[in-house]
Structure 1
Amino acid sequence: MTKRIAAALAAASTLALATPAWAGDSEGKIQIKAFATGVLPNGEITEVRTNLVGAPATSDSQASDSVVPTLAIEYFFSKNVSVETICCVTPHDVTGKGGLAGAALVNDAIILPATVTLKYHFDLGAVKPYIGAGPAHFFIFSEGVGASAAALGATRVNLSNEFGLALQAGFDLPLNDKGLGFSLDAKRYFVGTTASFFAGNTLALQTKHKLDPWVVSGGLSYRF
Structure 2
Amino acid sequence: MENSMRARTVLAATSVLAIATSLAGNSVQGADLGPEPAYYKAPHIEPSNPWMIRLRVLGVLPDSGGSSVNVSGSPSLSSPSSGLSISDQAIPELDITYFFTKNLATELILGVTSHHISGNGALTGLDIGKAWLLPPTLTLQYHFTNFGPLKPYIGAGINYTVFFNQSAANTSLAGLAVTDLHIRNQFGAAIQFGFDYMLDRHWGLNLDVKKLWLRPEYSATVNNAVAVTGRASIDPWLVSGGVAYKF
TM bin, normalised by shorter chain, reads: 0.7 to 0.9
- Cα distance in 1 for partners of 2:47, 2:116 equals 41
Amino acid at match of 1:173: Y
For residue 101 of structure 2, what is the aligned residue in structure 1? 78
For residue 145 of structure 1, what is the aligned residue in structure 2? 168
- Cα distance in 1 for partners of 2:161, 2:173 equals 23
Q: TM-score, normalised by structure 1?
A: 0.81
CA contact (8 A) 1:26 1:174 kept: no
- Cα distance in 2 for partners of 1:102, 1:149 equals 7
- Cα distance in 2 for partners of 1:66, 1:75 equals 28
For residue 151 of structure 2, what is the aligned residue in structure 1? 128
- Cα distance in 1 for partners of 2:61, 2:67 equals 18
5 Å-filtered alignment, 1:151-166, equals 152-166=176-190
How far is the alpha carbon of 1:44 from its aligned partner? 3.0
Larger radius of gyration, structure 1 or 2?
A: 2
- Cα distance in 1 for partners of 2:174, 2:155 equals 42
How far is the alpha carbon of 1:56 from its aligned partner? 4.4
- Once the two structures are overlaid, the 10-residue window that deviates more, 152-161 or 141-150, is 141-150
Structure 1 residue ranges without an equivalent (≥5): 1-24
- Cα distance in 2 for partners of 1:165, 1:132 equals 11
Aligned length: 198
CA contact (8 A) 1:105 1:148 kept: no
The one-character-per-residue Cα deviations of 1:150-171 (angstroms, maximum 9, x if unpaired) are: 9525321001111101100000
Q: CA 1:151 to 1:200, structure 2 compared with 1: closer, same or farther past 3 Å? A: closer
Given candidates 117, 130, 133, the residue that maps to 1:111 is 133
Amino acid at match of 1:118: L
CA contact (8 A) 1:26 1:180 kept: no
State the structure with bigger RCO (CA 8 A, min sep 6), 1 or 2. Answer: 1
The structure with the greater share of residues assigned to strand is: 1
Amino acid at match of 1:159: I
